[in-house]
Structure 1
Amino acid sequence: MNRIGVYPGTFDPITLGHMDIIRRGAKLVDQLVVGVTTNPSKSPMFTVEERVAIVEREVAGLAGDIRVVTFDSLLMDFAEREGATMIVRGLRAVADFEYEYQMAGMNQQLNSRIETVFLMADVGLQPIASKLVKEIAIYGGEIGKFVTPAVRGEVMARVDVIGRRGS
């Protein structure tokens, strides 16, 4: 039996924290499906198609069977379609845990055959959040500590296109 895990997120942009969870999550399963989705409460910098292309490029050199796909449905429906037995979630702080714990409980009610596994982010990567990376970039700050050089270039190019606030 193949163990398939799903790691869902918006990945807007993909950060070093995301990469850490993908790298480690891929070791736990035979195949890790990175599910790129939209979140109505977030304003994306990149389209879903752009994010998929960026994530595919970033994970190309990682060990393990990693597949990147889009989804626009309930997470548990997506996981079921992918044949997943596990949802992989990254935790940065206590605030993440409260939200993720509630989500895991709801997801278990929707489909008790799929387990949620939490991975703590690497200590050095815990403060990284895509939202903050975008905000730092928009205000002209340096984001190179939080994303790969290629992602940094794409974020900064997008910021130049949309214009920095306060300029």
Structure 2
Amino acid sequence: MLEIAETTVSITRVTVSSGRPFDEVVAAVYAGLGRVPDFGELVARWSAARDAAEFETTVGAATGSSGLIEFLSLDLGAVLTMRDPARSRRLLRIIAGNPVTMSSMAASVPDVGSYAPVTILVAERAEGTTLSYDRVASAIAPYASDEATAIAEALDAAVLVLLHNAAA
């Protein structure tokens, strides 16, 4: 039987503005993230963990000062420049997360997998550089899980510290 359900999710977006150049802001974000040369190899190490403690140790060793790991970065600005040079801008989507944090939230709210890992959007604008982030706690609010919400709020706080540090 096929069943379709819809849930309205209200997202709170935080945008931090900086007068710093785009490259400096991006470098500062990356400085707070764990970055590995071969993400596939890292995932293979996670998968080979014998138990939760070894998994958490492997993840912890890969995180940056924010507690997050860069999973993927997408240069959206390159595509924009190629398709519409007159309106080009530098635009970078950084997908980052921590599988221990995600799994802790998903244990009580499986739908959190739609929001973690998180996206950080760095955009070059006429007035400077902005960093945007959608709060995970706002996205999972409809699921009314105190446990997942507390973890999401801690994740949101960590991301916001990263963004503020990158913008300063």
Q: Is TM > 0.5 for Structure 1 vs Structure 2?
A: no
Structure of larger gyration radius? 2
TM score, norm. by length of structure 2: 0.25
Higher-helix-fraction structure: 2
User: Higher relative contact order at CA 8 Å, sep ≥6: structure 1 or structure 2?
Assistant: 2
